[in-house]
Structures are given as C-alpha cells and as structure tokens.
Structure 1
Amino acid sequence: MQRHKRRIVTALSATTASLLLALPLTAAPAHAASHDPIVFVHGISSSASSWDDWVADFEADGYSSSELFAWSYDWTKSNATTAQQLAAEVKSVLAQTGASKVDIVVHSMGALGGRYYLKNLGGTSYVDHFVSVAGVNHGTSVASLCGWLYTSCKEMQTGSAFLTALNSGDETPGSVAYAAYWSDCDEAIDPDTSAELSGATNVDVGCVSHTDMNNDHGVYEQVHDFLS
C-alpha cells in the first residue's frame, strides 16, 4: 500500500514538473527603455521653446517626456553665470530622474555655458554626451553687432578673453563623448568652421541656416544616432 502511494506521489511530481517546464517563462516586469536624460540649452535671444521640434522627435523615438528638459535662462548674462545655473539644473535633473549622468545638447551661444560647466565646474562627472549644434565655439565676427550691449555677446567675439580661456588646453575634457554639428552656410557663425571642437566628432551637415540647425530633422537624426 505504502509502495503504491509512493508511486502515485512520484508520478504526480513528475507530471507537475513536466507541466512547469512546459509553461512559458515569465520574465521579471520590464521597465520602459531608459535613456540618459537630455538637458537642452538654447542660444542668444532664444528660449526653451526653440527645442520643441526636437523634443517631439525624441519622444517619437522612444524617450519619455520625463527624460527631456528644455531649459531657459537669462541669455544676457555672462556665460560663466549661465554655466553655474546649468550646474544647478543638471543636479536637479539627476535628482528628479535618479540617473547618474545626463546628455547636454546646446545650440549657438549655449555651447559656451555648457563647455564652461564641463571645463571649470566639474560637469564632466555628470555628463555622458555633449552635443554642440551650431555652437559659437571659437567665436564669430557677427558678435561685434551686439557685444556693446550684452556681456554674453561680448564673450562670443573672436579672440575674447572668455573664449581664449575656454579654448586653452583641452577643448573636450574628461571622458564625455563630444560632437559638434556645423553648417557650411551659417549666417551667424563666421567663419563656419568656428563651430568645430578639437577632439570632438565634427560633422558638416551641409547648408542649414543657423536658426534651423536645432529644429532641422536631418540634423536631429544625426544627433539622435550619436546619443544612441
């Protein structure tokens, strides 16, 4: 009798094991695909809304709205002041998202505050990718038109003390991945190649106007691929 019971139990155990093995494996709950949060920095005489098209593009390509931060600041101030405010913004984004690093995407004069943050304020510890789009990285003759009005614009003038210090030594410090996208018909950057960065992935996107550089979809696709 006992032997018969043992045979039944053994048979049931074997059947149960077979059924369990036949069941599809259930993976742990999947989290939504995560990315480094992106902090977008606009240029002179602009605002966070200048990134609306790209924010929509990133969302269409799988980013959540909680990973995209188009940031506004007082563009009339020194780019060193902007860099300090950017440092606070990055810390806030990291606290909100729980991420360890952000990606920074800048346009035009926004490159100066962003690069100052990386070079002088410890930003390389918190930034994974830095993307300069039509950045005034080595100055522009056009800045002479507004240099007498705003400190920020004076700092964009070719050969300014601000740019000389910013570009001394390594232009792409730390382990950050750098890219600079520039147009060969940029009416605001003179010369056009001033937008390049030594040590970065420098990309001539062709003839795209300065104001269209950060909403052009073709440029967006290249930036998206770089961040990916």
Structure 2
Amino acid sequence: MVRRRWAVVVGVLAAAAGLLVAGPLTAPATAAPSIGINGITTLLDPPPSGANDWHCKPSDEHPNPVVLVHGLFANQAANWGYFAPLLARHGYCVFSLTYGRNPLAPPPLSQVGGLQPMQESAHELARFVAKVRDATGADKVDIVGHSEGSLMPNYYVKFLGGDEYVEHYVGLTPLWDGTRTLGLAELNNIAVQFGLGPGVGLVLAPLCGSCRQFLHGSPFLAKMNSDGGPAVDGVSYTMIMTKYDEAVVPYTSGRMDGEDATNIVLQDYCPSALSEHVAVGFDPVASQFVLNALDPNHARPVRCYPVGPKH
C-alpha cells in the first residue's frame, strides 16, 4: 500500500513538472557563458528578459547584482518572466540560472531543474555566484529565490561560505520547517518506520533527489535548522509567504527566526492578495516587498491592488 502511494506521488510530481514547463517562456537576454552540464541553457530555457547581461556593471545605487533562483520543477525561463525585467527596469544587474538538472530525466523533466539533491545544487549555485561576481566586479550579491530557490541557497550561505558573498536574501514561499502537503511527510515517516525508507529513496532519487528533502522532519531540514536555526549572521533575510500556499503546508513553515530576519504574509498587508504558491512569482504586491528588501534605505509603502471588476 505504501509503495503504491509513493508511485502515485511520483506520477503527481511528473505531472506538475509538465505543467510548469508549459508555462510562459520569454525571449533571451544576452547569452550567458556555459555554467556546466546541469546549467546549460537550451532553446526551451533561455534566460528571461532582463537577465544575464554579462556586460552589466552595478551602479552605486544598486551595487549588488541580483541572482534569481527558481523553484522545484521550474527553470529560469518559466519562473522569472516577471521579476527579471522588473528588477532590470529598477536598475539592477540581474542574473538567473537553471540548476539541478537531471541528465537522466525523460522529457519534460529534462527541461526543468531543482531535481538534484540540494547540497549538490548549492555547489552549482556557488560556482554561478562566483561567475557573476567575476563578471560584474561586485563584492556581494543579493539572492531572490522562489520555493526550492528560497531554501537551497541557504545551504550555500550556511555551509559553503556563501555568507561572505550574500548581503540580502529574499525568499518567496519559503519552507524552513518543510511541508506536510498531501500528508507526504507523514507517509514518508511511515515508510521509514516499516523499513521502506531506502526503497522509497531508490524510487525517488533517480528522478528527484531533492523531493524528500522538502518534507517536514527530513535530515536535510534538520541540518539546515541546526545550531540555532537557518539564519546566518551578517545576512539580511526577508521571507514572503501567502496564506493560500497549497505546496507549503502550513504556510507558516516559511517563518524564520533571527535578529535580521523579516517575515511577511501578503494577506496581513493586502487581504485582497490571492496569489498561491506559483503565482507569488508573478505577484505585483510581492514584488514591492522584494524591492524594499533589496533596497531598505529607500523602501516605499506597499500598494494593494484590487481584485476583480469594480462595481
């Protein structure tokens, strides 16, 4: 029974990948240099408009390049069609990558990222940040991540020396305490109790090495929350959540404790904000919080947008 339910889970994840790959693609910006086998861009995954101009030099007003980090079963093209041009219009040098590709995955999973164990993806991100810093001459970068992209980069920050190179860290729909969606965390615990954990790992790992790491109580999250929590001294964190998150359950899993950590629930400021997990990556209310987090010295009041027709 447990194995049958895990087979269903794998099918659901594959279907979700297909939906995300079918999302809007944008025209490429200036082509980026090769970033390794798992980060090679393809015709179906160009950098979003506004991103990866490798000749961009940061201004005095915005000295930190912004690195956009997509979510699970997404890629740079599908995830950042809204935020990349927005940040570029505000004067930032913007860079994005597709990380964690699985070279053994069949289509459509071959066109999405985030599939490798997050420790491996963090090393890939570290190489990309080094490339960005080398190209721009910047001492530090800012990170804006969505879903897995709100979690995985902190492995780089906390365990790979990234705290030296990251100043502002913004997470959209984060999950520091993992997710319990569809009861998967409990199902995983049952599998472990019945000795099926290694078997489940053998089923999921070839397809998605990161999937079990998201679940509440996973060893990856235990390590991330060790030594006083995920927040790292010297990094300014802003976590942006939505009450309508159907992937991070409960949405409060995204809260971060820390001296320099700010937690924002969109509906606490704008009750009319209806964005769920994926839509936060295209949300004009969330974008205002992101801009304020990246430039807190020039923060502006957040404007709420009406939903539906006016009467």
Q: Counterparts of 1:49-68 in structure 2 under 5 Å? A: 49=77, 50-63=79-92, 67-68=93-94
Shift of 1:62: 2.4
- Residue 179 (structure 2) aligns with: 140
CA shift, 1:135, in A, is 1.4
Match among 234, 238, 241 for residue 182 of structure 1: 241
- Please give the residue correspondences for 1:142-221 in structure 2 after superposition, counting only pairs within 5 Å: 142=181, 144=184, 149=204, 150-169=208-227, 170-199=229-258, 200-206=261-267, 207-221=274-288
Higher relative contact order (CA 8 A, sep 6+): 1
- Shift in alpha-carbon separation, 1:162–1:226, aligned structure 2, 3 A: same
TM-superposed CA distance for 1:33, in Å, is 4.5
2:64 corresponds to which residue?
Answer: 36
Equivalent residues, number: 195
The higher radius of gyration belongs to: 1
Of the candidates 76, 85, 95, which is equivalent to residue 69 of structure 1? 95
**Equivalent residue letter for 2:293:** F
Relative distance call for 1:36 and 1:184 in structure 2 (3 A) is same
* Structure 2: runs of 5+ lacking an equivalent: 1-58, 102-113, 188-199, 268-273, 296-311
RMSD: 1.8
Larger mean CA deviation between 121-130 and 161-170 belongs to: 161-170
> Is the 2:176–2:256 Cα contact (8 Å) retained in structure 1?
yes
Could you tell me how far apart the structure 1 residues matched to 2:282 and 2:255 are?
A: 19
Bigger helix share:
1
SS across alignment from 1:52: coil
SS of residue paired to 1:151 = coil
Partners of 2:88 and 2:237 in 1: how far apart?
A: 22
Moved over 6 A (4+): none
Query: How far, CA to CA, are the matches of 2:244 and 2:211 in structure 1?
Result: 21
* Residue 61 of structure 1: how far off its partner (Å): 1.9
| Identity among equivalent pairs (%) | 34
TM-score, length-normalised on structure 2?
0.60
Q: Which amino acid aligns with 2:131?
A: S
Correspondence for 2:55: none
Per the normalisation by structure 1, the TM-score is 0.81
